[in-house]
Amino acid sequence: MNSMSAPTVQSAANDRRFPKFDLVRLLSSVFEPTQGKRFCILIDLPDLSLAKDFGFLDDLKLQIQARAHKHFYMGLKEGGLAALGATGVEMFAYPMTGGSNLDMDDVCVDMQGNTLSLEKDVYSKFDIILCISTFSATAPLTAHAKKHGFRGATLHGVNDVILNSGLAVDYNDVSRDAEKLRLAMTRADWVEIDFIVHGGEEMTVRLELGQQEAQKSHGLCRGLEPDVANLPAGEVYFVPQGAEGAFPLKYEDGTLGKLTVTGGRIIKAELIEGSQSTIDAHNAKLADDPMTGVLGELGFGTQVLPVSGADIQDEKVLGTCHLATGRDDHLGGHITPALFKKHANATHDDILFAPHKTPNFDIKQARMSRDGKVEVLIEHFQPMNYLLNALAS
């Protein structure tokens, strides 16, 4: 079987019927307690003048922001606040950062067009902040939550599939399953992932985990401690302590490259098929700012969900795994924006391995060393018995 074959887990997800999106159910389960809390909706815009009188609603290119307004802002105003026992909701916009998890400028505007400060007028004034944006803001928002004491969630790239599946599930179930898989994988020594590129080339990357405690993205952000959930949730992840080997990467233009990893960092890219100029540009970036090649995350999906076309949900699908390069301070790592040569490079970029995303190569096997045993986790984008048995326990 190869990655072109129909994956049974994802086929089941596409056939599964999910409950209708229910904002009150989602927010009450994720953020308990909500009584007496003030909500804030944050969106990003390419031009802040579009915020005045909700002008962005007239721009068909800004569908994420339109969903933030319809399903979250208006959903709270039109009955959601009363049902949650919350006291108010306001909406603000900040400039698009242009990259995943880049720090945000402090300037923002309200829906009357007034220029304000995120630090002074938002982070310090609201109890629960929902950031529904084009680019992920999990890393910067997590840092600000710890400083100012709010709770929140990042929901970048929200589309209709996500609303009606990944955000419609019961997050008590999501949290339970994520914990089962976390316990099955925690304190691993290493994970190795074997790849087969269609055409026959094989490569393996090994991630050293040093018996660290596995972490989970499970969607619950309860109590009063500052915290930020990433929704949709459903993931077990590690911050690698080292990495060696090679893995394939499909670039945005469709180019396929082979990435060589040494000392936990991508050191070079080589062309498999596609554009040599794309490979050259990546190598130039790695040479100019080596921190951009550091592997800062290894993650495994824990949910049965349909493919949404957005990595925020698709990386949470059981049977997929992903790596990420760049900053990892929001995950408990030590790679901070200050370590990058250029501010624009201080991103956290996920590299998702999934059959719909990377049809030109397959995961032959992903395996883990733990407690003196080697356990097979995934083969051909399917969870193996070790993970399935953990879920069934």
Domain assignment of residue 314, given as a range = 171-392
Query: What's the whole-model pTM score?
Result: 0.93
* Distance (Å, whole) CA 357 – CA 340: 28
Q: What is the pLDDT of residues 56-109, one digit of tens each?
A: 999 999 999 999 999 999 999 999 999 999 999 999 999 999 999 999 999 999
Do residue 120 and residue 224 come from a single domain?
no
* Distance (Å, whole) CA 104 – CA 94: 8
Q: What is the pLDDT of residues 328-376, one digit of tens each?
A: 999 989 999 999 999 899 999 999 999 999 999 999 999 999 999 999 9
Residues 6+ apart with CB under 8 A from 349: 99, 100, 324, 325, 326
Given 163, 188, 213, which residue is the final one in a domain? 163
Given 111, 144, 163, which residue is the final one in a domain? 163
1 within a domain of the structure (yes/no): no
The number of distinct structural domains making up the chain is: 2
Q: Which pair of tokens denotes residue 115?
A: 């220029």
Strands (E), the chain: 38-45, 88-95, 107-110, 115-117, 128-131, 151-154, 190-197, 202-208, 215-217, 227-230, 235-238, 242-250, 256-262, 265-273, 295-301, 321-326, 348-353, 361-370, 373-379, 382-383
Given 103, 133, 163, which residue is the final one in a domain? 163
Do residue 206 and residue 261 come from a single domain?
yes
Q: Which of 7-21, 256-270, 300-314 has the lowest mean pLDDT?
A: 7-21
Do residue 185 and residue 277 come from a single domain?
yes
Q: Which pair of tokens denotes residue 147?
A: 């400083």
Length, in residues, of the chain? 393
Contact present, 21 and 164 (Cβ < 8 Å)? yes
